[in-house]
Structure formats: C-alpha cells, structure tokens
C-alpha cells in the first residue's frame, strides 16, 4: 500500500506543469478515507443513509478503455462513486460520459457520479440509474467545519487560502469590469485569428478556433500526425502569468513519435506524459512581448511563426 506522502510527492510542482489538481485530489481522498466525521458529512450530502461497513477509496485507477477517474469509491458492496475533481481546467469533451459508462457496467445497486469544480460549469445530464451531483469546492469546505482530523483541518485552511471556500459573489467594481473583460476578449480573439493566418501556409488540415476560454486556454487547434497542434494563450495557474504557447500532443505509439520527440527536444521544447500520450510545448510569458508597456502583436506572432517553421517538415 502506497503511503499518503508518497502519493502526493509524485505530484510535486515543477516548471513543466502545475499539479494542484492532482495534489488536491489525493488530500481530498485521504480525508474521505481517514476522517469519519468528514466522510459522514459527505455521504449525508449525497443522501446516503446506510451504515458504512466497507469503504474503499482509490485514486487515479485505470479502468479498461474508459480512462482514469480521479477518485473511485466502493461502499458496502452496493454503491460506487466516481468523482472527477477540477480546480482550473475544464472537463474533456467525453470525460463524464466515459465515467457514466463505467457506472452503467458495474453491478452495484447505487451508482453516483460527482463533478467537483471550483466554479459552475455546464455539464450534460444523466438518466437513472446514475445519480449525478455537480459539487463545488466551497461545499467541501463547509463539510470540513467541525472535523478533528489534522489533515482535514489543513485542507479546510488550504481551500480558504486558495479562495475556494466561499460561494461566488460580486461587488460593484467587479461587475463594472465586465465591459473591460469583453474588450480584452475581443482583442484576444483578433490575435487568435492572426495566428490562424500565420499557420495556413504550412498546413492543409482544418484549423479550429476555440470558442471560449476554457481552463485558462484560448487558441486554435489543428490535426498533426494523428495528434493535435495547439497555439494561443495559456494560463495553467491563477498565480502564474499568462503565456503565449505552442504545443503538440501525440500518442506514444505514433509512427513518427521518436523522430518528432528528438526534433522538439533539440528545439528546446519541454514535455510531459499523460497516460498514453506525450505533450511537448514551448511557452513565453506574455510580459516578454511588451514594448513600452504595450503588447507587441508582431513580436508574439514572430515567436510562434519561428516555432512553426522549425516543425514545418512534419506538416
């Protein structure tokens, strides 16, 4: 059995990617397993009224071809719960649907799917026998009040420090800023279309423009050797400055994988692996493209075009 500290250590922060989501998932699962008061509060929220005789909680467990749910819980041999935890990123297009299929194939009488997010996010609906709960982290914070477990108390203060413990409210200055947000969004969209024009001479595949900002990402995508090429604005953490970024995502078994991997490393692209794929990326903070406190569109476009030229042989 892997110790709790080893579980969270593997998600240590690095310059390559942030791990807040996975880090928080492991702590949340630990509290559900070891804090009986918190667990009971949580199950009461789900309207689960039976006495708990068996409680098994697993994290990041691969299930056939359906993916790797953040948290998978078995209770009393008659209930299973899948929890997908999000902090900043949005759900993948088919993610919750895949997890619903896991639930439907399971023989358990009670099947519960939970989507846990920082802010409201629109999701699909699910028919019986699946019970679907869209929860927020501030609801988890409320359940931690009165718990006596040291880790649970630290989780409560962590959620408070990260501003994840309160319901969403607005003040007048925030509401008046909507006009500025809309103007900024319009300028970002204009820049995205300029990137699209720069990319067109190099590829024949369809270029898709992201319709909205999701999980800090806003850009364009196109096919790339059975994978994905992405360019645009990227912010992986609220505390980190927004980046201008280009990334490539390929299956590990791609026939061109070794060749592309060697090339991108020689171009000083960084990378990380996710299950059966690798993601390479090159980023630069948005402030590096400012001249006299004004964002230089030409400078940012040149940065991206230079990186596109390096990989044009693969288009």
pLDDT digits (tens, 9 = 90+) for 268-278: 999 988 778 89
pLDDT at 16: 43
pLDDT at 51: 93
Residue 128 has pLDDT above 80, yes or no: no
Question: What predicted TM-score, i.e. pTM, was given to this entire model?
Answer: 0.61
* Length of the chain as a residue count: 315
The residues spanned by each domain of the chain are 4-161, 177-314
CATH of domain 177-314: 3.30.1460
pLDDT at 14: 47
The residues, ordered by sequence, that sit 6+ positions from 147 with a Cβ below 8 Å of its Cβ are: 31, 35, 37, 38, 41, 153, 156
Residue 187 dihedral angles phi and psi, to the nearest 5°? -65, -40
Confidence (pLDDT) at 227: 86
pLDDT band at 260 (very low <50, low <70, confident <90, very high): very high
Cβ neighbours around 102 below 10 Å, total: 18
| Residue 82: pLDDT band with limits 50, 70, 90 | very high
Tokens of 3: 């110790």
Residue 282 has pLDDT above 90, yes or no: yes
Q: What stretches of 84-215 show up as alpha helix (H) in DSSP?
A: 95-105, 137-144, 150-161, 172-176, 178-199
Structure tokens at 100: 């619903």
- Write down the pLDDT at residue 207: 87
Tokens of 309: 């030229």
Instruction: Quote the pLDDT of residue 106.
Output: 84
Higher pLDDT residue, 18 or 69? 69
> What are 52-61's pLDDT values in tens digits?
999 999 988 7
The pLDDT of residue 268: 93
pLDDT at 237 over 80: no
């Amino acid at each position: 059995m892997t110790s709790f500290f080893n579980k969270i250590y593997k998600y240590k922060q690095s310059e390559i990617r942030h791990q807040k989501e996975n880090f928080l998932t492991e702590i949340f699962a630990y509290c559900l397993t070891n804090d009986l008061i918190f667990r009971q509060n949580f199950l009461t929220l789900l309207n689960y009224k039976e006495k708990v005789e068996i409680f098994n909680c697993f994290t990041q467990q691969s299930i056939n071809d359906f993916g790797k749910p953040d948290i998978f819980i078995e209770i009393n041999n008659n209930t299973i719960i899948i929890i997908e935890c999000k902090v900043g990123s949005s759900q993948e297009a088919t993610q919750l649907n895949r997890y619903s299929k896991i639930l439907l194939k399971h023989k358990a009488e009670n099947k519960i799917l939970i989507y846990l997010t920082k802010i409201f996010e629109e999701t699909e609906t699910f028919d019986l026998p699946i019970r679907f709960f869209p929860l927020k982290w501030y609801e988890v914070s409320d359940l931690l009040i009165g718990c006596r477990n040291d880790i649970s108390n630290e989780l409560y203060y962590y959620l408070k420090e990260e501003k994840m413990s309160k319901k969403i409210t607005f003040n007048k200055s925030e509401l008046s800023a909507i006009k500025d947000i809309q103007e900024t969004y319009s300028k970002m969209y204009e820049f995205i279309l300029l990137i699209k024009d720069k990319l067109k001479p190099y590829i024949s595949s369809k270029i898709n423009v992201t319709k909205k900002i999701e999980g800090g990402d806003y850009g364009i995508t196109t096919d790339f050797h059975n994978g994905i090429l992405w360019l645009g604005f990227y912010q992986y953490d609220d505390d980190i400055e927004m980046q201008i970024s280009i990334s490539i995502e390929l299956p590990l078994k791609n026939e061109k994988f070794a060749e592309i991997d060697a090339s991108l490393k020689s171009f000083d692209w960084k990378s990380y692996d996710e299950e059966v794929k690798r993601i390479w990326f090159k980023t630069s903070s948005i402030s590096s493209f400012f001249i006299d406190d004004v964002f230089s569109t030409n400078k940012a476009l040149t940065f991206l075009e230079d990186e596109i030229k390096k990989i044009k042989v693969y288009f």
